[in-house]
Structure 1
Amino acid sequence: MNSSLMQNFIKVAGFIGSQRHLVAVRDGFISIMPLIIIGSLAILINNFPPLGGFSFVGWMDGIFGEGNWQAVGGSIWNGTFAILGLLVAFSIAYNLAKSYGVDSLSAALISAGSYIMLVPWTEDGGLTVAWLGAQGLFVGIIISIITTELFRLLVQSKLTISMPEGVPEGVIKSFRALIPATIILLLIGLFQAIISVFIELSVFEIIFQVIQQPLQGIGNTLPAAIVIAFLNHILWFFGLHGTNIIGSVIEPLYLPLIEENLEMFKNGVPATEVPNLVTKPFLDSFVFMGGSGTTIALLIAIFIVLRHEQKHPYNEVAKVGAPASLFNINEPVIFGLPIVLNPIMLIPFILVPVTLTVMSYVALASGIVPRTVAIVPWTTPPILSGYLVTGGSWRGIALQIVNLAVAIAIYIPFVTAGARALKQNKEA
């Protein structure tokens, strides 16, 4: 652990976790997560499957008329997932500008305006809706970073309009941003004109075909899912917040995939037939139950192994951490047991999520379990999350139960070894 390789790995991971632009991307996605969850749940409600002999959709149709009530969920979709790229362009620029200490609202508005300027127009004078949503995510990320960096440089170069004392702060900010905004929008307009004349493709089509589509294709594979599960947990083992560090990388890859599943599910395609297997809900609901490392299974293993030793330190930590773990909050366990830098727990802490990733992928790929068609809050407890993300299927619950059983079985011998080692150390 003290080798130069490990030290360099920790330094690199720490740099990535604190790098300004990656942090802004991560925080930008976190900012819009409530809208994403609301939009996802709206579509889930619109297409909720029958429970036994009761059909929620049929019941609502009987009250409000067939399909009429679903217009509400459709409108929520239009204000959330349908403009995902635009929301990202705004939120990332806001967070990046805030980190620099410049006018974050002006930077976010300039970024959103620039994004709209690049969106292709339809023949009847409207915006192409497809590029406002998840297909435009990478353009939203790129344009937010570029415009914010330009805005920062222009503002700090004093190429601004100064106002006399006594003028309201809002007016001062508006005029200070006027010249930088003019320059940036002119540059974006010139860039758009050059692209349209010489390439005859929109920026969105170029970025989607060259960058976004290939990366999403790689991300929607079992090897990619295994790598993500491994990296997340090796970072946690060294005390680094693995979820936050890799979040800025996986969010742009996996949000478009779940958005595609949601779009098809909204249009009546069964959850077993949507195309994408590996999505963020796939990882959150079937791999990271109880938090990274599926630590809810670790707590159950502790309660089983040490059921006759209530005063054992492992049991004490498990009792404290169990309530939070039900809602996928596991820092008390990771740092209290501890798992961080604990060689006994290294193997199961990495082996469990990798194993569950493989099992879950096979279950979804074979059609035994429906694929994910909804995003739920990351604090949603296991069992409920498995039911919701699979479109209301009991098979999602069954997969979570099987995964938990396997995880508990893997953790038990290591809990036994850890408890024995702790006891021997105390006696020595």
Structure 2
Amino acid sequence: MNKITEYLQEKVMPKANKISNERHLAALRDAMVLTIPFIIIGSIFLILASFPIPAYTEFLNQHQGIKDALLFPFNATFNIVALVATFGLGYRLAESYSVDPLASGCIALASYFLVTPRFSTTIDEVMVTGIDTNYFTSQGLFVGLLIAIVSTEVYRVVIQKNLTIKMPDGVPPTVAKSFTAVIPGFLVVLVVWAIRLLVENLTSFDSIHSVVRVMLEKPLTHLGTSLGGTIIVFLVINLLWCIGLHGSIIANSVMLPIWLQLTSANAASLASGEPVKNIVSAEFRYLIFVGGSGATLGLVIAMAFFAKSKQLKQLGRLSIGPGIFGINEPVLFGFPIVFNPIMWIPFLIMPIVTVLITYLSMQTGLVAKPIGVLPPGTTPPLISGYLMTGSLSGSVLQLLILVLSFAIYFPFFKLADMQKVKEELVASENLE
């Protein structure tokens, strides 16, 4: 373990640091960190609204108003991460260029609304127009980050060319700053507006969101449920998470209909007394996602109980509750794993390892195959393993994945932990 850590520190870390300190990646990382409080708060209310105890779930189903009320804070925090990150990236990137970050963040957010499609519907014979709020969630995150980079780059070029309105010396600085942003902001809106019109009128796509969705989803449609295809699907899910895009949502939009058919087939076989046949089905993802995409619960345990850095220890303690219920956005964006090249290594190793172990152990009969039971995604590991396979072997499999997760993430966690400790020591010395 020490040799691995030393190798990573001497060979890999310098290159990874050089990449991660690049201006745009650093701004992306800071934008992701800005979303952490919203994600943690939202995670708490999501658990409260979907706690996997039958009696509690039945109570909420009978009192839909209570469940809806529990989801109000979730929608107001967790489900606006695309907006928060778009503003944050515009702010931080402009800050790195020493131009007005507040104006840049606001212009980036306005630009995102500009490219996000509207919908129209009729309610009581009245035409209502609005924006699909799904684009405010992580579903729109990647487009928001792209637009923030484009808008901020245009904004700072115009500012640096001095194409701004100059106010007299007697005008208050705040008022002068607002007028300084008029011409750059106008030009940003023109550029982003032109991009939208070009996409919608000169291509077969109806929005920039559709371009991203189709380009990412199309390769997944050619993948089946074989061992090789399954590894690729879950590797793609984690690759998308690496760049801040909700890989599960994108993969599910293509693969879930296929997976659900296989789940139904397994359930029908079980009901007729026949052996189940399908290994990869809708349940498979929950079996291998111990703690969320990338099986990050092992990393969370390492942070909570073995971190010397105050920041990582606190993040681990905050993340362990959501992680048990399969919600790992706090660690994905807080550690972070998103836009963090050094952590991409274990994060991309995990789906390969977990798919191989799960698939082969079921194929050889060591672990029972899924029986067509699909519990809520927030069901804790071990319990979910038992429910989905109808056997304790499912729980044992998830326990093995948890142990492997801890072992694979640990050397990379130690490397980050040592780095954080050094940063905290420097910060405390500066305060003195």
TM-score range, shorter chain: 0.5 to 0.7
2:19 maps to amino acid: I
SS at match of 1:123: strand
Structure 1 residue aligned with 2:92, among 91, 95, 115?
95
Gaps of 5+ in 1: 230-245, 300-317, 330-349, 375-383, 412-428
- Work out whether residues 220 and 251 of structure 2, in 8 Å CA contact, stay in contact via their aligned partners in 1: no
**What is the match of residue 134 of structure 1?**
138
Shift of 1:161: 1.7
CA distance in 2, matches of 1:49, 1:385: 8
- CA 1:256–1:173: 2 relative to 1, 3 Å: farther
SS at match of 1:48: coil
- CA 1:163–1:322: 2 relative to 1, 3 Å: closer
Structure 2 residue aligned with 1:282, among 293, 296, 299?
293
- Say if 2:144 is the partner of 1:160: no
CA distance in 1, matches of 2:408, 2:28: 35
- CA 1:27–1:225: 2 relative to 1, 3 Å: farther
1:284-330 CA distance string (max 9 Å, x none): 644424348xx96xx7xxxxxxxxxxxxxxxxxx9x7999769749x
**What is the match of residue 338 of structure 2?**
none
- Say if 2:29 is the partner of 1:18: no
Shift of 1:207: 1.9
Shift of 1:181: 0.2
- Say if 2:242 is the partner of 1:249: yes
- Work out whether residues 283 and 357 of structure 1, in 8 Å CA contact, stay in contact via their aligned partners in 2: no
- The aligned runs of 1:20-59 (5 Å cut-off) are 20-50=23-53, 55-59=55-59
- CA 1:211–1:359: 2 relative to 1, 3 Å: closer
Shift of 1:200: 4.7
- Work out whether residues 22 and 248 of structure 1, in 8 Å CA contact, stay in contact via their aligned partners in 2: no
CA distance in 1, matches of 2:201, 2:243: 34
CA distance in 2, matches of 1:352, 1:187: 37
CA distance in 2, matches of 1:112, 1:189: 13
Overall identity of the aligned pairs, in %? 25
Shift of 1:146: 0.7
Shift of 1:361: 7.2
- CA 1:119–1:46: 2 relative to 1, 3 Å: same
- CA 1:107–1:215: 2 relative to 1, 3 Å: farther
CA distance in 2, matches of 1:399, 1:252: 28
Structure 1 residue aligned with 2:353, among 351, 358, 361?
358
- CA 1:275–1:142: 2 relative to 1, 3 Å: farther
CA distance in 2, matches of 1:257, 1:363: 23
- Say if 2:164 is the partner of 1:181: no
- CA 1:372–1:353: 2 relative to 1, 3 Å: farther
- The aligned runs of 1:18-417 (5 Å cut-off) are 18-50=21-53, 55-59=55-59, 66-124=63-121, 125-201=129-205, 202-211=207-216, 214=219, 222=231, 249-254=242-247, 256=249, 273=282, 276=285, 281-283=292-294, 285-291=296-302, 328=316, 358-359=353-354, 362=357, 367=370, 373=377, 401-403=399-401
- Work out whether residues 114 and 143 of structure 1, in 8 Å CA contact, stay in contact via their aligned partners in 2: yes
2:100 maps to amino acid: D
Q: TM-score, normalised by structure 1?
A: 0.58
CA distance in 1, matches of 2:194, 2:351: 50
- CA 1:138–1:354: 2 relative to 1, 3 Å: closer
1:365-397 CA distance string (max 9 Å, x none): 9549989945xxxxxxxxx9858999x99x998
- Work out whether residues 283 and 370 of structure 2, in 8 Å CA contact, stay in contact via their aligned partners in 1: no
Shift of 1:118: 1.0
- Work out whether residues 48 and 56 of structure 1, in 8 Å CA contact, stay in contact via their aligned partners in 2: yes
- CA 1:282–1:388: 2 relative to 1, 3 Å: farther
Shift of 1:149: 0.8
Shift of 1:147: 0.5
- CA 1:42–1:363: 2 relative to 1, 3 Å: farther
- Work out whether residues 286 and 399 of structure 1, in 8 Å CA contact, stay in contact via their aligned partners in 2: no
Shift of 1:71: 1.8
SS at match of 1:282: coil
1:110 maps to amino acid: I
SS at match of 1:290: helix
- Work out whether residues 287 and 356 of structure 1, in 8 Å CA contact, stay in contact via their aligned partners in 2: no
